[in-house]
């Protein structure tokens, strides 16, 4: 409407955006965490997070109908969150978020073992069991609470001798960083994470692992000798 002659905001100096570098896991630390959680009733959950980079909400919302153990394919179709004491399921934000993920033989074995354990818990709970069709539930079949999962994750970090400040979300960072460091194409990693742009993967998840500088130096030496 041209009522203001100039944009005062354009005269302001915006604050500098500081990028926080998150601590991630190296291969030895990742193996140590998997070893510590191996006997946990939710061992398969940690494997999914650390090998496929799935978000916590995606894992908690995973249903058995989304998992094909025969073909070794998992499909991300919904997320689960608890807001105000209410369990809410939603579709992923983007079409790329609704994605198929290939399961390695070790992941298939972990999910088969988990399914057998859940069948035992269902029989043990009897009338107390509440069928939710979710892969990861409480011992009575109800949806898992993210806060309880976080507390359990912190105990596993302590048992593995890993820093307490690590978040469950950092397992997603670790999955991406480890795959990129191993030479997996960025487009493949980006599709696994459900990103619409490969730049998102590179900017947010491609951390430089310890020792990467030496690999870079050795590579350039080979090229120029």
Q: What's the pLDDT score for residue 220?
A: 65
Distances 139 to 17, 41, 154 between C-alpha atoms, Å: 44, 9, 20
Residue 50 three-state SS: helix
DSSP characters over 5-32:
SS-GGGGS-PPPPPPP------HHHHHH
Does residue 11 form part of some domain? no
Does residue 105 form part of some domain? yes
Q: Could you tell me if 27 and 178 are in contact, meaning their C-beta atoms sit under 8 angstroms apart?
A: yes
**Structural domains counted in the chain:** 1
Q: What's the pLDDT score for residue 11?
A: 87
Q: What's the pLDDT score for residue 198?
A: 83
Does residue 116 form part of some domain? yes
Torsion angle (degrees, nearest 10) of CA 121, 125, 129, 132: -10
Calculate the CA 108 to chain-centre distance: 17
Does residue 156 form part of some domain? yes
- Name the percent of the chain lying above pLDDT 70: 90
Q: What's the pLDDT score for residue 202?
A: 79
| Cα–Cα distance, 166 to 168 (Å, whole number) | 7
Q: What is the DSSP letter of 104?
A: P
Does residue 9 form part of some domain? no
Q: Which domain holds residue 126?
A: 21-217
Cross-strand bridge partners of residue 82: 87
Q: What's the pLDDT score for residue 93?
A: 80
Which tens digits make up the pLDDT trace of 164-177?
Answer: 999 999 999 899 88
Does residue 6 form part of some domain? no
Regions of the chain with pLDDT less than 50:
none
Which CATH number characterizes residue 140's domain? 1.10.443.10
Does residue 180 form part of some domain? yes
| Cα–Cα distance, 147 to 169 (Å, whole number) | 13
């Amino acid at each position: 409407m041209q009522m203001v002659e100039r944009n005062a905001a354009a005269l302001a100096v915006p604050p500098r955006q500081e990028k926080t570098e998150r601590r991630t896991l190296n291969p030895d630390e990742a193996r140590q965490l998997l070893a510590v959680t191996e006997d946990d009733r939710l061992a398969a959950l940690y494997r999914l997070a650390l090998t496929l980079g799935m978000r916590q909400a995606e894992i908690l919302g995973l249903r058995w109908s989304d998992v094909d153990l025969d073909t070794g394919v998992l499909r991300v179709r919904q997320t689960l969150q608890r807001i105000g004491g209410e369990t809410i399921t939603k579709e992923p934000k983007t079409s790329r978020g609704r994605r198929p993920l290939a399961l390695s033989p070790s992941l298939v074995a972990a999910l088969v073992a988990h399914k057998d354990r859940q069948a035992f818990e269902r029989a043990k709970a009897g009338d107390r069991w509440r069928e939710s069709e979710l892969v990861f539930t409480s011992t009575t079949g109800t949806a898992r609470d993210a806060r309880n999962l976080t507390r359990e994750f912190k105990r596993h970090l302590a048992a593995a001798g890993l820093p307490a400040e690590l978040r469950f979300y950092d397992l997603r960072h670790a999955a991406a960083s480890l795959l990129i460091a191993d030479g997996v194409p960025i487009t493949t990693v980006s599709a696994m994470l459900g990103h619409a742009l490969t730049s998102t993967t590179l900017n947010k998840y491609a951390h430089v692992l310890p020792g990467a500088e030496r690999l870079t130096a050795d590579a350039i030496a080979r090229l120029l000798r």
